């Protein structure tokens, strides 16, 4: 029972510290390039999945991250909470 209390306390303190971040919007650093202006993220199709793996940028090759962004966009739209 003591372990359960410790775990619950940990989650409660974490939520108190970081809970406000759930209301945040996208940041201006790279979210426009990677998410809301990226045509690969807008839909999931054979072509966009292929593009996620074959579009090569030597500084930023992240195909699994792009697939994750596609799934997030499918489920949540352009809501940063999702």
- Give the tens place of pLDDT for each residue, 35-46: 888 899 888 999
59 found inside a domain: yes
80: containing domain: 25-82
82 found inside a domain: yes
Tokens for 67?
A: 């697939």
4 found inside a domain: no
What was the pLDDT predicted at 26?
A: 83
Total number of domains constituting the chain: 1
Coil vs helix vs strand at 34: helix
69 found inside a domain: yes
What was the pLDDT predicted at 68?
A: 93
20 found inside a domain: no
- Give the tens place of pLDDT for each residue, 12-53: 999 999 998 888 888 888 888 888 888 998 889 999 999 999
3 found inside a domain: no
What was the pLDDT predicted at 57?
A: 79
5 found inside a domain: no
Instruction: Kindly compute the dihedral angle of the four CA atoms of residues 66, 68, 73, 79, in this order, to the nearest 10 degrees.
Output: -110
- Give the tens place of pLDDT for each residue, 53-73: 998 777 888 999 999 999 999
């Amino acid at each position: 029972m003591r372990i359960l209390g410790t775990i619950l306390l940990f989650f409660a303190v974490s939520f108190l510290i970081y809970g406000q971040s759930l209301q945040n919007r996208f940041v201006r650093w790279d979210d426009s390039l990677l998410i809301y202006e990226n045509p690969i993220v807008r839909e999931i199709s054979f072509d966009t999945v292929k593009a996620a793996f074959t579009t090569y940028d030597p500084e930023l090759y992240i195909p699994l991250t792009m697939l994750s962004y596609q799934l997030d966009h499918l489920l949540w739209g352009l809501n940063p909470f999702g």
